[in-house]
Amino acid sequence: DTGVSQDPRHKITKRGQNVTFRCDPISEHNRLYWYRQTLGQGPEFLTYFQNEAQLEKSRLLSDRFSAERPKGSFSTLEIQRTEQGDSAMYLCASSLRATDTEAFFGQGTRLTVV
């Protein structure tokens, strides 16, 4: 297992376009998280999946954002009608179900909206 994988690593898009990111978690991990990180800040929680169920969404996740995790494996994060303020690093993390387990992060997708 090569760890958490994210694709693409970089995305440049024009304002108003839709973008979709993919995350492949560590295979046996049933918890999956999306975070967003802007320059000079720590990552901020966006949403959480336990298997295929989306159990928590941050108020940062406006109605332009949608996330899915079909079949409880990979996950996608879509941003519709992108705005310049969406420019950030989008990070995916996975962990086992127990509350005291370590979270592992992917390399992130750097989004630039021009």
Partner 1 sequence: KQEVTQIPAALSVPEGENLVLNCSFTDSAIYNLQWFRQDPGKGLTSLLLIQSSQREQTSGRLNASLDKSSGRSTLYIAASQPGDSATYLCAVSGGATNKLIFGTGTLLAVQP
- CB nearer to partner 1: pick between 5 and 80: 5
Among 7, 26, 52, 105, binds partner 1 (CB under 8 A): 105
The structure tokens listed for 72 are 């409880």
What are the start-end ranges of the E strands in 1-114? 5-7, 10-13, 19-24, 31-37, 44-50, 53-57, 65-68, 75-79, 88-95, 104-105, 109-113
Taking CB under 8 A as the rule, does residue 103 contact partner 1?
yes
Residues numbered 29 to 68 that lie near partner 1 (CB under 8 A) are 31, 33, 35, 40-45, 48, 50, 55-56
Taking CB under 8 A as the rule, does residue 78 contact partner 1?
no
No. of helices (H) and no. of strands (E), the chain: 0, 11
To the nearest whole angstrom, how small is the minimum distance from the Cβ of residue 99 to partner 1? 4
Length of the chain: 114
Q: Distance between CA atoms of 65 and 34, rounded to whole angstroms?
A: 11
Which parts of this chain interact with partner 1 (CB under 8 A)?
4, 6, 31, 33, 35, 40-45, 48, 50, 55-56, 91, 93, 95, 99-108, 110
